[in-house]
Amino acid sequence: GLGVPQLVRRSGALRVAEVVSEVPGQAGAVVLDLGFETRVQVTLTGVGGALAAGDLVQVAVSGTRGTRVAAAQRGYFYDGALERVVDGDTVIAVVALGCGVTRRMRVRLKGVDAAPIETASGKEADALVCKRLKPGDPVVLETFRADPYGRYLAHVFYWGSRRREKASAETILDKGRFLNQELLDAGLAVAR
């Protein structure tokens, strides 16, 4: 065999929003695209000067703080918590888009295909994911696009509830476990 396929693990800033427009007549107010067709009007603090359409800012989970980011740091990374495991390659998570906005998302693990849950190997894949992730566990998602069923394709990173120390979302993204790759490594999913 050629070995287990290796998925590409990237890094970037969490919760990067794009400035869509300035708000006429309101100094400093902008409309931000938080992702997933979600826009908010907000006056950000901490960005150091006026913002213009196309500027990228990393926004806080809640509140109005923002930090400018370079286009090179652009990714679609969001932190949140697992709501539940659907099966071996689908989970539901509640993610922070920033500025106090959250979204419940059905997420399909990108790059992997587990057998249907009705099969023995599908049950094994589901059991592995359920063992690794418990409801409420922090997760970081790198999202890509929606599949034909409306699920967002994503890489899922987590810290692991057995570890004694807690981890920030940034640490989970940089050093956490990569669920998609773990399914491939365990032989419980095929690369797709």
Which run of H or E residues covers position 4?
none
Beta strands, E only, the chain: 16-22, 29-35, 38-43, 56-59, 66-68, 77-87, 90-98, 101-109, 112-114, 138-146, 152-158, 177-178, 189-191
Q: How far is CA 109 from the centre of its chain?
A: 11
Q: What is the pLDDT of residue 161?
A: 65
Q: What is the pLDDT of residue 44?
A: 94
Give me the chain's average pLDDT, please.
95
Q: What is the pLDDT of residue 162?
A: 67
Beta bridge partners of 97: none
Within the chain, which residue ranges are assigned CATH 2.40.50.90?
77-191
CB proximity list for 121: less than 8 A, separation 6 or greater = 114, 115, 188
Beta-carbon count within 10 A of 123 CB? 17
pLDDT tens-place string over residues 107-118:
999 999 999 999
Please list, residue by residue across 38-75, b when 16 or more beta carbons sit within 10 angstroms of its beta carbon and e when fewer do: eebebebeebeeebeeebbbbbbbeebbbeebeeeeeb
pLDDT tens-place string over residues 127-161:
999 999 999 999 999 999 999 999 999 999 999 86
CB 115 within 8 A of CB 122: yes
Beta-carbon count within 10 A of 129 CB? 25
d(CA 149, CA 108): 10
Beta-carbon count within 10 A of 154 CB? 27
CATH class of 77-191: mainly beta
∠ CA 171-174-179, nearest 5°, is 100
The domain 16-73 is classified under which CATH number: 2.40.50, 2.60.120, 2.40.30, 2.20.25? 2.40.50
Q: What is the pLDDT of residue 170?
A: 96
What pLDDT tens digit does each residue of the chain (192 aa) get?
A: 568 999 999 999 999 999 999 999 998 899 999 999 999 999 999 998 899 999 999 999 999 999 999 988 888 999 999 999 999 999 999 999 999 999 999 999 999 999 999 999 999 999 999 999 999 999 999 999 999 999 999 999 999 866 778 899 999 999 999 999 999 999 999 999
Tokens of 15: 């919760």
- In this prediction the pTM is 0.95
Nearest to 76 by CA among 130, 28, 144, 27: 144
